[in-house]
Amino acid sequence: MSIRKRHPDPRRLILDTALALFTRHGYFNCSVHDIRKTADISIGAIYHHFPSKESIAKALYDDLVSQMSGAISDVIENDQSLEERCRAVFCLLFELTEEQPDRMSFILHARHREFLPSEPPVCSARPFRLMRDLVKEGMDQGVLRPLDLTLASACLFGPPIRMIQLRLDGLIEEPLPLNLEPLFQAAWRSVAA
C-alpha cells in the first residue's frame, strides 16, 4: 500500500521525531498523531514500541541525560589541571549546543516536571552533579576560593548556561564556541583563588 520503506530502527525513528517535535512545538502541542505523520509510521507501530506518549518523553530524557553524563565524564576524567577540565566542560556544552540544539534544548529548557511529574528537577541530575563535583575538587585543591558549593557552581556554570539559553532562544547569532575563551576566563575569575 504505502510507498515508504520500513525504517530499520523504528524505535530510534520515533524518538528522533518526537525530540524534534517536542523541542520545536512543546510536548503538549504535539499529538501522537503528529509524530505519526512526521515519522511516516502508524499509530499502531508507535504504541507497539512505547506504552504511552509520556513514556516516549521519559525514554528521550533518560537517553539524553545519560549521553550527556557520559560526555562530561569523558572530558573530566583525564589528567589535566582542574582549570583545563572546567574549560573542557564549557567547550563540550557549547559544541553540543551547536551540533545538537534539539537535544540540548530538551535537556535544558523543557519543564520536564510538567509532563514527567515523578522526575526530579534536571539540575539534580547527574550531569549537573558532575559539574558540582568538579567545583568541590577545585576548592579542596585550593585553586578555587572557599565558597558555598552551590553558590560557586552557580558562579562558574551560570554564565555558560545562560549563554546556551540565549543561543537556543535565538538571541545570540554567533556560534558559542567563538566566545569560549573570554567567557571561561570571566567565569573562572569569579571563583578562582
Partner DNA sequence: GTCTATACACGGATAGAC
Partner DNA sequence: GTCTATCCGTGTATAGAC
Q: Does 113 bind a second copy (CB under 8 A)?
A: yes
Residues in 125-164 at the binding interface with DNA, rule: CB under 7 A: none
Residue 2 contact, options a second copy, DNA, none, Cβ 5-8 Å cut-off depending on partner type = DNA
Tell me the residue type at 145: R
* Contacts (Cβ under 8 Å, ≥6 apart) of 193: 142, 143, 144, 145
Sign of CA dihedral 84, 90, 93, 94: negative
Minimum Å gap between C-beta 62 and a second copy is 19
> What contacts 145, CB < 8 A, 6 or more positions away?
139, 152, 191, 192, 193
Give me the least distance between CB of 6 and a second copy, in Å please.
33
CA distances from 85 to 26, 58, 63 (A): 34, 30, 24
Instruction: Tell me how far, at minimum, the Cβ of 46 lies from DNA, in Å.
Output: 8
* 58 lies in the site for a second copy, by CB under 8 A: no
Per the listing, cell 571563583 goes with: 191
Candidate list 14, 104, 110, 116; residue touching a second copy; CB under 8 A: 110
How far is C-alpha 95 from the chain's CA centre? 11
Between 17 and 56, how does the x/- string for binding to DNA read (CB under 7 A)? Answer: -------------xxxx-------xxxxx-xxx-xxxx--
Q: Which residues does residue 179 pair with via DSSP β-bridges, in sequence order?
A: none
Burial state string for 17-46 with b = 16 or more CB within 10 A and e = fewer than 16: bbbbbbbeeebeebebeebbebbebeeebb
* Contact map string, positions 53 to 92, toward DNA, x by CB under 7 A: xx--------------------------------------
CB of 45 to DNA, least distance (A): 3
Closest separation in Å from C-beta 192 to a second copy:
9
Site residues (vs DNA, CB under 7 A)? 1-2, 4, 6, 10, 30-33, 41-45, 47-49, 51-54
